Chains A and B, each alone.
Chain A
Amino acid sequence: MNLKFKNKKITGILAVLPEKEIKFEDEIDNYEFTRRQSMKLKLVMGFNKRRVVNKGTTISDLCVFGLNHLFDRKLLRKEDIDALILVTQSPDYFMPATTHIIHGRLGLKQDIYCSDINQGCAGYSYGLNQAFMLLEQDKINKVVLLNADILSTKVSEKDRSSGPLTGDGAAITIVENDPDGKTIYGSVKSDGTGADALIIPAGAFKLPSTEKTAELVKDKAGNYKALDHIDMKGDEVFNFVQREVPPMINDLLDSAGSKKEEIDYFMFHQPNKFMVKQLSNVMGLSEEKMPNNLVENFGNSASVTIPTLISFNLGQRLKKESFLICICGFGNGLSWSSLFLEMGNLDFCETIDYDN
């Protein structure tokens, strides 16, 4: 579904990463890799280091920390927030929504739209599309989009496909009306027939957690996983991404009347180094145009990867310069979503550490 927005812009991006870093070398014994395989995986998949929360830290902790950072520096005023939306799959509670927890902890005004969105790796562009829709309302002038996940806590320590890659983090993106804003093009798509390709089978209402669902079971490749853990069919996800993402981007750029060559940066979700490299090969894009350096530095933090990638690669430049950027996320659902917009002259664009 193609979407179009007028007179809106992103005015700030802040990534909040937990200070704790795990190095692949330090957890290598969990995975039964040979030394040679480990070296190869580091190069090909980006197994290197990742940021994770300490036990007990929640996504509301990360978000409150980041928002307070902005309040303290007068980069954002509490009373200006008309809508608070949070994209996550690791909420503090099943009920209430974590936006309400954050709302309460920060003492935000009552005249506000609060909503959680359950999306994974497609969630940055999904959340931005939602934020732009909210700005169509007369009463809503500033939307705070939060993306936060701590899914490292839902990955088996002995799952060699997902374990060495999964990171945690949060990102805050401010979205506002702008009479001079250029048209923003968006696209969202969904295929629920692939729902089991990436799933946490137990822990919600269909299959509540029990001793049985916590039991580690060995698969044929030597991974140990429980039903309480993330279960990914790597080949199906790879196929889905390579099949669906390139045509979505072509269609998005067509709808905007633009060509790939005119785009400054393709900021795509970063599941692992191999997947992004394959996408850039298929789309004929250099690594300079399509950065692929997030996983090896911070891990895959679901919908937080794209804002972190933007901050990590462009950072302060986005405060003074402006770029044509294409954003695309893809993940569980199956869900894939993209945006094409001009981004620049931001009030802030940085990454901070959460010290827990």
Chain B
Amino acid sequence: MTRSEILEQIKEIFVETLDNEEITVEESTKAIDIDEWDSLMHVLLVDAMEKHFEVRFKASEIQDWKDVSEIIDSISHNLN
């Protein structure tokens, strides 16, 4: 799966989990850029991404992501 394909699927997960059609998700997007993305919703995002991509993130990955590009890194790494 290419980075852009992963990003597209992440976008859908964000829209669905945060229940907001208007949010913009790019590689550079950080939690601070999306109002609804607090630590509680982060948990739901992690859970939804793990189920969707059939991966299991390490606790250290979950806490270290600085932006969406690092989430894509984790998913790519876990898929390979």
Which of A34, A220, A238 sits near B63, CB closer than 8 Å?
A238
What DSSP secondary structure best describes chain B's contact surface?
Answer: helix
A183: CB under 8 A from chain B? no
B68 → chain A closest CB, angstroms: 16
From B2-10, B21-29, B38-46, give the one contacting chain A: B38-46
A293: CB under 8 A from chain B? no
Contact: B59 with A282, CB < 8 Å?
A: yes
Contact: A161 with B39, CB < 8 Å?
A: yes
Given contacts A34-B19, A220-B35, A242-B60, contact A45 B43 (CB under 8 A): yes
A279 → chain B closest CB, angstroms: 8
A289: CB under 8 A from chain B? no
User: Which residues of chain B from 42 to 75 have any CB-CB distance to chain A below 8 Å in the complex?
Assistant: 42-44, 47-48, 56, 58-60, 62-63
A281: CB under 8 A from chain B? yes
Contact: A221 with B60, CB < 8 Å?
A: no
- Tell me, in angstroms, the Cα distance from A238 to B58 when the chains sit together: 13
A37: CB under 8 A from chain B? yes
Contact: A239 with B44, CB < 8 Å?
A: no
B76: CB under 8 A from chain A? no
Contact: B63 with A239, CB < 8 Å?
A: yes
Q: Nearest CB to that of B48 among chain A residues?
A: A40
| Among B43, B48, B62: residue with most chain A CB under 10 A | B43
Contact: A235 with B19, CB < 8 Å?
A: no
- Tell me, in angstroms, the Cα distance from A37 to B37 when the chains sit together: 13
A44: CB under 8 A from chain B? yes
Which of B17, B39, B48 sits near A238, CB closer than 8 Å?
B39
Q: Nearest CB to that of A278 among chain B residues?
A: B59
Contact: B59 with A242, CB < 8 Å?
A: yes
A234: CB under 8 A from chain B? yes
A235 CB contacts on chain B under 8 angstroms? 39, 42, 63
B19 CB contacts on chain A under 8 angstroms? 34, 36-37
Contact: B41 with A221, CB < 8 Å?
A: yes
The 5 nearest A-B residue pairs measured at CB: A234-B39, A221-B38, A242-B59, A239-B63, A235-B39
Interface residues of B (CB under 8 A from A): 16-17, 19, 35-44, 47-48, 56, 58-60, 62-63
Interface residues of A (CB under 8 A from B): 34, 36-37, 40-41, 44-45, 160-161, 219-223, 233-235, 238-239, 242-243, 274, 278-279, 281-282
> Can you name 18 A-B residue pairings with CB atoms under 8 Å?
A37-B19, A37-B44, A40-B47, A44-B47, A161-B40, A221-B36, A221-B38, A221-B40, A221-B41, A222-B35, A223-B38, A233-B39, A234-B42, A235-B63, A242-B59, A242-B60, A243-B60, A274-B47
